[in-house]
Structure 1
Amino acid sequence: MKPLAGRTFGIVGALEAFPYRIARREIERLGGRLRRSSGRGITTVVYGRKLLRRASLDGVVTSFRALVAERRRPISEAGFLRRNGLSPDADQGSHPRSVMIEKSGLPAETFDLLALFDAFERDVEPFTFRDLILARKYRGLSEAGADWDAIARAVHKVPQVGALAALTLDVEAREIIERRDGWTCELSGQGLLDLGYDGVNIDDLFESAEAAETSGDLEAAVGLYGRCLAVDPTDSVASFNRANCLRELGRSVEAAQDYARAAKHDPGFVEAWFNLAALMLDEGHPDSARRHLRRALALDRSYADAAFNLGKLEFDAGDLSEARLWWSRYLELDRHSEWAQRARNGLRLIAMQAEAETG
């Protein structure tokens, strides 16, 4: 059996080491899946270094906290590459996370975020002695006014992060600098693997498409996602996102094709099955919607929205026993939301109708 059989990784942001397509090809070679998403079915979420240059800091911290609260596993770009044999392993350390935080004086979340963006030699415990020195240096930089993300971005300019342990670091105009006798300089020198595609940077294209979608320029987003798919027709998340935009624009036939393409190339993509079901229901195809909702629930039994929609579909179709089953399932997953109250109301209607029939 291949070492990653059955595992699905999600990527937030873009990798700095090499393009997404190369990483996905290697993960699939090992039997796993890689998706530009942190959605359902993904237990290990990779934070690409480029995220720090292209996303809001608040958004990065919020997504990190959400993953931790959900007990899901965020890992760094370097950690992801090392664990899957795509880069050399780091030196073995001896310092647990708790000791690093205690001896450095860094707040726990700041320490975790710096580790998540590869500001240390190792991204998880046990950390090295050089990591402990770095953590103390980072605390000094933080006290001098540097934010954790500025520290991480500066570290990314250096080929070997451990080498920073021997340097004198300081903050000047909110930039991290190196001080030597009589002069100062910026940190620099990182090289990247040149593994692009004929001059087309698909990661930049994808991020531009996401930005257009977020800003509401759906036509532009459709075109940009289309360019991503022209480079990599098997990119399930680009297909899914494009389908969402097409659906908003009222182009239902094209949206259905893209949802189906996303599900074809990634059969475990639960949201693709769910959104395709919703589109089929909107278009008056309840049998297709039923099949896709059942597929989504087969993949993820905890998908409450799919259970609710399936209950409503069966209720509207007059199959009250099936509606009762699915709304009861929904209430096992969600008992407090507005939709939970709607499910309870639906069950009351079913009970009243059954009572009237036996009355």
Structure 2
Amino acid sequence: MAATPARQVYARSEVRRMLGIAEKRLRSWERQGWIPPLDRYTIADLVVLRTLATLRKSGVSASRIGQALTALRERLGELSDPLRELRIVSSGKKIVVQVGDSRMEPVSGQLLLDFDSREIHRLVSFPVKRQSGSHPVPGARRAESAAWFEKAVDLERAGAPVAEIIRAYERSAEADPGSAGALVNLGTIYFHMRSWDTAEKYYRQAVEADPSYPLAHFNLANLFDEKGDRGQALVHYLWALRLDPEFADAHYNAALLYQNAGQVMRAMRHWKIYLKLDPSGSWAASARRELEALRRATLIPGARRNQPPTA
């Protein structure tokens, strides 16, 4: 049987769930002109968003990102979209750009020699925190892992057969077992194929590789929710929220689980936080309806009529 082509377009709400980006942050990036406002995203768009998310997670300030993008457009006038056309990574809290085999500081234009291939890995799969006692992966293996990850992304962009994409991500994870990004993407492919056990295996490996990666916990929670294990789903949604309190979609899903379990006050708390984080997103209207229904359900009949009259 022929392999099913990989999906090439993702809805806005799905992209936010996949990358753990709050709607208000996405809108902020759009207002600043870093990305265009879109309702549908390609794999190439996801790579751009992951670049921005990685820079912010690495401690790079919004003002520094804006300065770097402006400087790159001025220095390299033929580039209209540096985030898409260049390899941009962080070095501490600074931004550097890959130029051949070297690095460039975008504002000053200074070249920084000896580009470290591990920076590529940090871009494509988010920073990985190794567990104590784990064996470090040699630089060459990590570079190989990053190369296979990029190949997998290119295959998805080209709509290649799923089997080819899976093998590329597997090669990335084989070269560096700590490549949480490759493991999460493998889990997501199998999730969409409804191969629950295999998806769970990869999501758990991602959590083990980087316990501080909120998206790994969130995706594992989605899997448990799909399988009907609400208890384990809630555990991992809450874990994702401990790691990233502004993970709006984790608040949304936790609110639903608490509501279905009859824990009204906890559900209301998460609905309120979700609406504060994402007041105008595609799921905001649904969240408001659920919150209002819970408020009406918790009103004590006759409470208003028993209030003393006012003058």
> Do both share a fold (TM > 0.5)?
yes
Kindly indicate whether the alpha-carbon contact (under 8 Å) linking 2:145 and 2:174 is maintained by their aligned counterparts in 1: no
Q: 1:280 aligns with which of 224, 228, 233?
A: 224
Matched ranges for 1:158-173 at <5 A: none
Larger gyration radius, structure 1 or structure 2: 1
1:116 counterpart SS class: strand
Alpha-carbon RMSD: 4.4
Is 1:327 aligned with 2:271? yes
Q: 2:105 aligns with which of 101, 107, 123?
A: 123
Q: Partner amino acid for 2:229?
A: H
Once the two structures are superposed, what CA deviation does each residue of 1:28-66 show, in whole Å capped at 9, x if it has no partner? xxxxxxxxx98669xxxxxxxxxxxxxx9x859965996
C-alpha distance 271-327 of structure 1, shift in aligned 2 (>3 A): same
User: Distance in 2 between the 1:232 and 1:284 partners?
Assistant: 32
C-alpha distance 270-121 of structure 1, shift in aligned 2 (>3 A): closer
C-alpha distance 357-260 of structure 1, shift in aligned 2 (>3 A): farther
Task: State the partner residue of 1:354.
Answer: 298
Q: Partner amino acid for 1:210?
A: V
> What is the number of equivalent residue pairs in this alignment?
221
Is 1:299 aligned with 2:243? yes
Task: State the partner residue of 1:211.
Answer: 154
Task: State the partner residue of 2:309.
Answer: none
Is 1:71 aligned with 2:62? yes
Task: State the partner residue of 2:126.
Answer: none
- Kindly state the Cα deviation for residue 260 of structure 1 after the two structures are TM-superposed: 1.1
C-alpha distance 60-218 of structure 1, shift in aligned 2 (>3 A): closer
C-alpha distance 358-346 of structure 1, shift in aligned 2 (>3 A): farther
User: Distance in 2 between the 1:321 and 1:222 partners?
Assistant: 42
Once the two structures are superposed, what CA deviation does each residue of 1:162-213 show, in whole Å capped at 9, x if it has no partner? xxxxxxxxxxxxxxxxxxxxxxxxxxxxxxxxx745xx94444322322334
C-alpha distance 333-40 of structure 1, shift in aligned 2 (>3 A): closer
2:105 counterpart SS class: coil
**TM-score, normalised via structure 2 length:** 0.57
**TM-score, normalised via structure 1 length:** 0.50
- Kindly state the Cα deviation for residue 318 of structure 1 after the two structures are TM-superposed: 1.4
Kindly indicate whether the alpha-carbon contact (under 8 Å) linking 2:145 and 2:173 is maintained by their aligned counterparts in 1: no
Kindly indicate whether the alpha-carbon contact (under 8 Å) linking 1:280 and 1:289 is maintained by their aligned counterparts in 2: yes
Once the two structures are superposed, what CA deviation does each residue of 1:287-329 show, in whole Å capped at 9, x if it has no partner? 1111100111111111110001100111111111111010011
C-alpha distance 124-213 of structure 1, shift in aligned 2 (>3 A): closer
User: Distance in 2 between the 1:219 and 1:306 partners?
Assistant: 30
Is 1:310 aligned with 2:254? yes
Task: State the partner residue of 1:247.
Answer: 191
User: Distance in 1 between the 2:63 and 2:191 partners?
Assistant: 30
Q: Partner amino acid for 1:118?
A: V
- Kindly state the Cα deviation for residue 117 of structure 1 after the two structures are TM-superposed: 4.1
- Kindly state the Cα deviation for residue 237 of structure 1 after the two structures are TM-superposed: 1.1
- Kindly state the Cα deviation for residue 333 of structure 1 after the two structures are TM-superposed: 0.6
User: Distance in 2 between the 1:110 and 1:301 partners?
Assistant: 31
For structure 2, the 5+ residue unaligned runs are 1-17, 23-41, 87-95, 115-138, 304-311
1:335 counterpart SS class: coil
Is 1:256 aligned with 2:180? no
For structure 1, the 5+ residue unaligned runs are 1-36, 42-55, 80-96, 132-158, 161-194
Q: 2:282 aligns with which of 335, 338, 341?
A: 338
Once the two structures are superposed, what CA deviation does each residue of 1:80-120 show, in whole Å capped at 9, x if it has no partner? xxxxxxxxxxxxxxxxx69x95xx89599689988834389
Q: After superposing the two structures, state which structure 1 stretch, 227-236 or 345-354, moved more.
A: 227-236
Kindly indicate whether the alpha-carbon contact (under 8 Å) linking 1:225 and 1:239 is maintained by their aligned counterparts in 2: yes
Q: 2:212 aligns with which of 268, 274, 287?
A: 268
Kindly indicate whether the alpha-carbon contact (under 8 Å) linking 1:213 and 1:245 is maintained by their aligned counterparts in 2: no
Identical-pair percentage:
23
C-alpha distance 126-38 of structure 1, shift in aligned 2 (>3 A): farther
Kindly indicate whether the alpha-carbon contact (under 8 Å) linking 2:241 and 2:250 is maintained by their aligned counterparts in 1: yes
